[in-house]
Structure 1
């Protein structure tokens, strides 16, 4: 079997896209290995579809994190058995590119976002200079490039004149879990559940405004905002909740296995995705959680971004907030919760849309991209 190595800067556990890619390539006859980061809070993970290698680091944030990881990743890839490498995002591309050249191995670049347009990069001059320089150097040299939606593909095609393949990040088709109850999940049975989930609850994603929208004066009654996952503003959000005395209205849960997460998703009344258009990356984003909500039959409230609007309007699965003012967000939430008949129609539309918006559909595109590497 041909060994394919995926490289990521996360701890692998929560990376739905890479794990689904590995499953698909495993079914094609590849032997997948996913190389990521070993963090203090990394959960045990030994999936059937891939070997896992987590690299321990001394530094866990900032430039030193990327420098240490990329150096260690370079030497690991240099000596590891590999017939094909898949670099996921710009922050793993340099070592994968160098090793692919040295060892004369094929490389696929899978960019999950418009990396240099993310707020963590765009708002910091040195980071912006470094990552843009690296992208300008390496991107034109890649032969096979994949991304997550058409908007990002068009941005890159316009900038570099390279054709990208689009594989959207969708969940596998499944019916919502109707067996488990809210009580078993320690969720209130007498309140509406407003859910925000994700492994990247970061700056400019509208969470601060969403929390403020839960203040009593905004009129959302008999409801709980449930935030599940992790991100770089999580501690700040918890302080905000305490500072605004919203402990009875907002609940946090840590990241959890995907199967467990989807049990909570299916019990929510509304799923939230409120990325702001303040950076190119978020402006053209198509978050995983949107499709998770739809798969679970959970109507959505989203920000007015092109890719989100396209899905919500086409499939009629929720509503779009015209801005990020907490009063406007609260108005949208109340509009949804106060119309149970419409909420039920959106739920039915979600379940119908899920038959089309699933990984099994995207898997055909994935197999078409990777089939040629089995023959080499």
Structure 2
């Protein structure tokens, strides 16, 4: 079976698309393509054939990339086209109509809610329009894949073949050996944005009385937010051990995670999509034996509480966040034990091996 992944906005080496789905499918299928934004065609070291089209200039630049994607994809002549956004799935629908291909819609996000945020004055109206657009397209899928129970329930209202494949991490071959820093170390990995709790975390650090180290890994979302954080640090946190690394290679991120004690997942409550999310970062902390300091939202609570792998806080309260940090810093042996519990839970329940079996079964049913 010839398989072609289609994406209008994700990177070729997107973690879910490439390192999870494609590498899982390669265990059964030999010929896999991916059509994605990029500068030039190439073949990956795993033998995946990459066909590229120019990246879109901004979020409004949607039609030209879709045309480019279709022209490339039709020449591939795949038996299955697996699309990762409404835009790329519209291309898949056209390929099915013209060539009889099987098509999969892989919905990773709350697309109607996310896209409508570009239109704050008519957000409610745009959300309904995009929801109707997505529903009309998704009905044409041979299979729908999605990442959480909320989205499964949404799609099951109008489609009979919906598969749940959460964004669980791929297990490493060997158990991680921690090399803890001498002082309690707290880490954040990801884009540095206000709605991901970065500024609230800085406000909390000011209140922590125990000596600790703080590491923030990733790029700032904007120069304005970067300046805002730098000003706060300069005026309030000169006596704190804080490191901002910027964006660094994955292997270096892993080295930092090996030495840290706890990680922040402090999504803010003013974004409905965040309140109803299972952040992949949560599982990545758990798999590296880091305790999670997480927003007290239902989906995060359902993972943290049963496993005893973290502390839930009000993500809008610097006092609550600071209290959690002090508890972990003052009880290091308990903190290490919580990290071990998270690692055990990921290995038992929250790992990609569970999803791989479902993915291969879904593909097998398309034959």
Instruction: Settle same-fold status: TM greater than 0.5.
Output: yes
| 1:222 is aligned to 2:214 | no
Q: In 2, Cα distance between the equivalents of 1:73 and 1:128?
A: 25
Question: Retained in 1: the 8 A contact 2:8–2:37?
Answer: yes
Corresponding residue of 2:365: 372
Where 1:171 maps in the other structure, the secondary structure is coil
CA distance 1:257–1:107, change in 2 (3 Å): farther
Q: Is the 8 A contact 2:7 2:88 kept in 1?
A: yes
Q: Distance in 2 between matches of 1:6 and 1:202?
A: 28
Question: 1:154, CA displacement in angstroms?
Answer: 2.0
Return the offset for 1:49: 5.3
Structure 1's 299 and 119: CA in aligned 2 closer, same or farther, altered over 3 A? Answer: farther
Corresponding residue for residue 350 of structure 1: 342
> What SS does the corresponding residue of 1:82 show, helix, strand or coil?
coil
Question: Do the aligned partners of 2:104 and 2:144 also contact (CA within 8 Å) in 1?
Answer: yes
Counterpart contact for 2:186–2:260, Cα < 8 Å? yes
Task: Give the drift of 1:11.
Answer: 2.0
Compared with structure 1, are the counterparts of its residues 18 and 281 closer, same or farther at alpha carbon in structure 2 (3 Å cutoff)? farther
Residue 62 (1) aligns with residue 52 (2): no
- Cα RMSD of the aligned pairs, angstroms, is 2.9
Find the aligned partners of 1:252 and 1:286 in 2 and give their Cα distance.
25
TM-score by length of 2: 0.85
Q: Write the deviation string for residues 51-71 of structure 1: whole angstroms up to 9, x where unpaired.
A: 2333223x432212x333223
Q: Which residue of structure 1 aligns with residue 187 of structure 2?
A: 195
List gaps (5 residues or longer) in structure 1: 183-188
Contact 1:270 1:301 in 2 (8 A): yes
2:140 equivalent in structure 1: 141
- Aligned pairs for 1:24-63 (under 5 A) are 24-38=24-38, 46-48=44-46, 50-57=48-55, 59-63=56-60
Q: Gaps (5+ residues) in structure 2? A: none
- Per the alignment, residue 322 of structure 1 pairs with 314
Q: Describe the SS at the equivalent of 2:268.
A: coil
Distance 1:7 1:313, change over 3 A: same
Cα distance change on mapping 1:14 and 1:251 into 2, 3 Å: farther
Map 1:1-40 onto structure 2 (within 5 A): 2-38=2-38
Please give the TM-score of this superposition, normalised by the length of structure 1. 0.84
Query: Which residue of 1 is the match for residue 283 of structure 2?
Result: 291
Describe the shift of the 1:38–1:221 C-alpha distance in structure 2 as closer, same or farther (beyond 3 A).
farther
18-27 or 74-83: bigger deviation: 74-83
The Cα offsets for residues 276-321 of structure 1, whole Å up to 9 and x where unpaired, read as 3434422221111111111111110111222211111121101111
Rounded Cα–Cα distance in structure 1 between residues aligned with 2:34 and 2:219: 21
Q: Distance in 1 between matches of 2:171 and 2:24?
A: 14
Where 2:167 maps in the other structure, the secondary structure is coil
1:264–1:12: structure 2 CA closer, same or farther, 3 Å change rule? Answer: farther
Q: Which residue, 107, 110, 113 being the options, matches 2:106?
A: 110
Is residue 171 from structure 1 mapped to residue 169 from structure 2 by the alignment? yes
Measured in 1, the distance between the counterparts of 2:171 and 2:147 equals 18
Mapped to 2, the partners of 1:91 and 1:235 lie a distance apart of 29
